[in-house]
A and B are shown apart, each in its own frame.
Chain A
Amino acid sequence: MPKAVDIRICMGTGGIAAGASAVLERFEEELSSTGVGASVRENCSRHNVGCRGFCARDVLVDVILDGERTTYQYIKPDMVQRIVEEHIVSGNPVEDWVVTDDYHNFHEKQVKVVLSDCGEVDPEDINSYKSRGGYKAVESVIGSKTPEDVIEMIKSSGLRGRGGAGFPTGLKWEFARKPESDQKYIICNADEGDPGAFMDRSIIEGNPHSVIEGMTIGAYCIGADKGYVYIRAEYPLAVKRLRIALEQAKEAGYLGENILGSGFSFNIKVKLGAGAFVCGEETALIASIEGQRGMPRAKPPFPAQQGLWGKPTVINNVETFSNVPYIVTKGPDWFSSFGTEKSKGTKVFALTGKIRNTGLIEVPMGMSLKEIIYDIGGGMERGEFKAVQTGGPSGGCIPKDMIDINVDFESLAKVGSIVGSGGMVVLDDTDCMVNIAKFFLEFTQRESCGKCTPCRVGTKRLLEILDRVTEGKGKSGDIELLLTLGQDIKDSSLCGLGQTAPNPILSTIKYFRDEYEAHINEKRCPAAVCKAMLTYTILEDACKGCTLCAKACPSDAISGEKKKPHVIDQGLCVKCGACFDTCKFKAVHKE
């Protein structure tokens, strides 16, 4: 019988959506006094851990018997009994359900700094974080090192902001350290608004204490005694775990008055964002914390001089703060040993889209896109690789023939995209690039705060042009108009939102101009995505007459007898694609 059993269940948003709570419940049942695991109940601990990145395989369960770890994938509640019986009680792992090689490949090439404790520590237990060296950084800094020394350390590590702009963190802290002020603030930007990015959510869900520790060190450096975490209300689990962590940190003396007897005091408040993408911009975020409409203002003065309530303020992203304790504990040289000359350390990316292994990954800056997609991502799910969209609505697309590019701040900027917050959406041959550009423009246009004209009116005009192009009403000259207008908006908008909003259009025109031309000149969507130019037909030879499509059709446009080929009435068809999605014989054709 094993001496110690540790069961760890992945309970991020992805895990819970896949049924992790029910799995945990089932473990509790099986380990209760009447369950099959009654004999090992006493020496068995159960933990929920945060996201370990590979959400596509959820529910992931680790069973650690006397230090020996076995990871199971795709676990459902009804599989738990067998695991307890055969593995935990009898000591024979259930080989059928153990993770496969590609699970190991997914992790092998990654270098985990920020995510090193995610999926290992119990996010709702401060002792779990401490047992892995948590809060050692705060202990080694506060009262022992001068703020200047710590700033110097962060500067020499080469850490740059992970929220998008990539500004050197140590320098930012130095700017905020200098001005004399009765009050300073430190803000953690957890208003992760980029569609397609979820690293901040996962970090807070998986290891909230690392963010708190990073903020505390930052506050000590600049001399702030108040901090805010501005976090999206759409992340209820992250908010809950953050609040628990703040309570625990305070109780343990890492937050509050006179931290560790040093005379330094620091408190953190949680502010819930109310849903506005523009609040990712520093000055807009400050306005929002002040309770106003989240509208940016002109810089300078920079927040480091005049920020929240007019006081010197530092704003860093979640991932940036989370790096800090690791840099302090392991040293700046260790950190800067990863990455490229100008982009140091690692970066967390949300790898999603048409790729086999979707999830959260952390790699050294400068890794090639090819390695990320094929070695870690396991290659394409079905279709043929076409492009990667990075940086969300502010970023661009990198086409197939540039797949050898290194992923770091400089290299991506050179080809017209950005690292941004780290969203990486892989597209295949069934994705229309004009449609992707339009998707982002719809987003930025809706999220434009309306303060400055180029962004307010300009994005609207850009969207109108894209609307007509995708509806088959494009005119010659539209491409040139998009280019000119896009450049003008970039040059004249007030904040980052407007300055980057045209990027998705500019980069898709640069690399996929032929698709725009096909839409405009031939009234054809090469990827068969744009509804107005699509026709759905049923291939007589392939149709088995199973009637599934007719049942799925919301407009009763499909008719036919059982076991005989069906027909679509083009006049009734609303082009919803329901028949295409339901057909099991690939008999529905679209073009």
Chain B
Amino acid sequence: MQEALDRVIEKYRLEEGSVISLLQDIQEEFGYIPEDSVSYVSDRTGIPQSSFYGVATFYAQFYLKPRGKNIITACCGTACHVKGAERVISRIRRELELTDGEDTTQDGLFTVEDVACVGACSIAPVVIVNKEVHGKVSATQLLKEINNLKKETDA
């Protein structure tokens, strides 16, 4: 972990106002912001931990907990909303047995999250599965995709 963090710190050493960039790179490396990484980077850079947490909790992009192996991002922009995104989302959340306030499945296989708008409104509703954009999705289609992903993990 230290080696990776030192690399990140070095990259932004000369830059002013690098808290967000530091956090983005840490998350790129680990998939989330581990507590240890914050204390380490804070010690090395002299930027107080509170600054990191202040920023990390302000922006939607940062995660303080590990996320699932597969990430399903549902767009809930206006166009998607009027094209029934909510019904699709609640169907897959139910399928994955996610209760309110929970985003990641117990087995750590899936994380289901919202994004305000991915800007692909003309093919609404849109869901991104592992960085691949799917347009005009239906719940049935997604359930199939989820089952495929489950099988891939089992294999």
Could you list which residues of chain A lie within 8 angstroms of chain B, going by C-beta atoms? 13-14, 16-18, 55-56, 58, 192-198, 200-202, 233-236, 271-272, 274-277, 288-294, 309, 350-354, 358-360, 389, 392, 423, 425, 427, 431, 436, 439-440, 443, 447, 449, 552, 554, 576-578, 581-582
CB distance from A361 to the nearest CB of B (A): 10
Chain A residue at minimum C-beta to C-beta distance from B131:
A236
Map CB proximity to A onto B77-114 as digits: 1 under 8 Å, 0 otherwise. Answer: 11101111001001100110000000000000000000
Whether B24 contacts A274 by the Cβ 8 Å rule is: yes
Whether A18 contacts B21 by the Cβ 8 Å rule is: no
CB distance from A399 to the nearest CB of B (A): 16
Residues in B whose Cβ lies below 8 Å from that of A289: 17
What are 6 A-B interface contacts by the 8 Å CB criterion? A18-B123, A198-B117, A274-B62, A353-B83, A358-B79, A576-B90
Chain A residue at minimum C-beta to C-beta distance from B114:
A446
Q: Choose from A198, A389, A581 the contact partner of B120 (Cβ within 8 Å).
A: A198
Whether A195 contacts B77 by the Cβ 8 Å rule is: yes
Interface centre among A56, A201, A234, A276 (most CB of B within 10 A): A234
Could you list which residues of chain B lie within 8 angstroms of chain A, going by C-beta atoms? 16-21, 23-24, 51, 54-55, 58-62, 76-79, 81-84, 87, 90-91, 94-95, 115-124, 126, 131, 133-135, 138-140
Whether B124 contacts A352 by the Cβ 8 Å rule is: yes
CA distance A294 to B17 in the complex (A): 12
CB distance from A36 to the nearest CB of B (A): 29
Whether A352 contacts B122 by the Cβ 8 Å rule is: yes
CB distance from A349 to the nearest CB of B (A): 11
Whether A554 contacts B91 by the Cβ 8 Å rule is: yes
Whether B58 contacts A293 by the Cβ 8 Å rule is: yes
Residues in B whose Cβ lies below 8 Å from that of A360: 122
CA distance A236 to B20 in the complex (A): 17
CA distance A17 to B124 in the complex (A): 11
CA distance A198 to B121 in the complex (A): 7
Whether A195 contacts B76 by the Cβ 8 Å rule is: yes
Whether A201 contacts B122 by the Cβ 8 Å rule is: no
CB distance from A465 to the nearest CB of B (A): 20
CA distance A581 to B141 in the complex (A): 13
Q: Choose from B21, B84, B135 the contact partner of A291 (Cβ within 8 Å).
A: B21
Decide: A56 near B58, CB < 8 A? Known: A233-B24, A236-B131, A291-B19.
no
Residues in A whose Cβ lies below 8 Å from that of B95: 554
CA distance A360 to B76 in the complex (A): 19
Residues in A whose Cβ lies below 8 Å from that of B59: 274-276, 294
CB distance from A517 to the nearest CB of B (A): 22
Decide: A14 near B82, CB < 8 A? Known: A196-B121, A274-B61, A276-B58.
no
Whether B79 contacts A353 by the Cβ 8 Å rule is: yes
Interface centre among B59, B126, B134 (most CB of A within 10 A): B59
CA distance A231 to B130 in the complex (A): 21
Decide: A18 near B17, CB < 8 A? Known: A193-B117, A352-B121.
no
CA distance A304 to B115 in the complex (A): 32
Whether B87 contacts A196 by the Cβ 8 Å rule is: no
Whether B61 contacts A14 by the Cβ 8 Å rule is: no
Closest 7 CB pairs of A and B: A291-B17, A198-B119, A195-B77, A275-B60, A274-B59, A196-B78, A358-B122
Residues in B whose Cβ lies below 8 Å from that of A552: 140
Residues in B whose Cβ lies below 8 Å from that of A271: 20-21
CA distance A380 to B85 in the complex (A): 20
Interface centre among B18, B19, B116 (most CB of A within 10 A): B116
Q: Choose from A56, A192, A392 the contact partner of B122 (Cβ within 8 Å).
A: A56
Residues in A whose Cβ lies below 8 Å from that of B20: 271-272, 274, 288, 291
Residues in B whose Cβ lies below 8 Å from that of A235: 118-119
CA distance A122 to B150 in the complex (A): 38
Decide: A17 near B79, CB < 8 A? Known: A274-B61, A309-B16.
no
CA distance A84 to B121 in the complex (A): 32
Residues in B whose Cβ lies below 8 Å from that of A194: 117
CA distance A500 to B77 in the complex (A): 18
CB distance from A435 to the nearest CB of B (A): 9
Residues in B whose Cβ lies below 8 Å from that of A17: 120, 123, 126, 133-135
Residues in A whose Cβ lies below 8 Å from that of B61: 233, 274-275
Decide: A581 near B119, CB < 8 A? Known: A274-B20, A291-B19.
no
CB distance from A103 to the nearest CB of B (A): 14
CA distance A196 to B60 in the complex (A): 18
CB distance from B152 to the nearest CB of A (A): 20
CB distance from A580 to the nearest CB of B (A): 9
Residues in B whose Cβ lies below 8 Å from that of A352: 78-79, 121-122, 124
Whether B91 contacts A197 by the Cβ 8 Å rule is: no
CA distance A456 to B102 in the complex (A): 24
Whether B119 contacts A276 by the Cβ 8 Å rule is: no
Chain B residue at minimum C-beta to C-beta distance from A430:
B82
Residues in A whose Cβ lies below 8 Å from that of B79: 195-196, 352-353, 358, 425
Decide: A292 near B55, CB < 8 A? Known: A18-B123, A55-B122, A233-B61.
yes
Residues in A whose Cβ lies below 8 Å from that of B126: 17
Interface centre among B77, B78, B123 (most CB of A within 10 A): B78
Chain B residue at minimum C-beta to C-beta distance from A196:
B78
CB distance from B3 to the nearest CB of A (A): 24
Whether B78 contacts A56 by the Cβ 8 Å rule is: no
Whether A353 contacts B117 by the Cβ 8 Å rule is: no
Residues in A whose Cβ lies below 8 Å from that of B118: 13, 234-235
Whether B90 contacts A14 by the Cβ 8 Å rule is: no
Whether A195 contacts B78 by the Cβ 8 Å rule is: yes
CA distance A577 to B89 in the complex (A): 12
Residues in A whose Cβ lies below 8 Å from that of B51: 292
Residues in A whose Cβ lies below 8 Å from that of B123: 14, 17-18, 55-56, 58, 358
CA distance A194 to B138 in the complex (A): 24
Q: Choose from A201, A294, A353, A578 the contact partner of B139 (Cβ within 8 Å).
A: A578
Whether A581 contacts B138 by the Cβ 8 Å rule is: yes
Decide: A13 near B133, CB < 8 A? Known: A276-B58, A293-B54, A425-B82.
yes
Whether A195 contacts B117 by the Cβ 8 Å rule is: yes
Q: Choose from A193, A358, A431, A440 the contact partner of B121 (Cβ within 8 Å).
A: A358
Whether A554 contacts B117 by the Cβ 8 Å rule is: no
CA distance A576 to B120 in the complex (A): 25
Whether A294 contacts B135 by the Cβ 8 Å rule is: no
Chain B residue at minimum C-beta to C-beta distance from A236:
B131
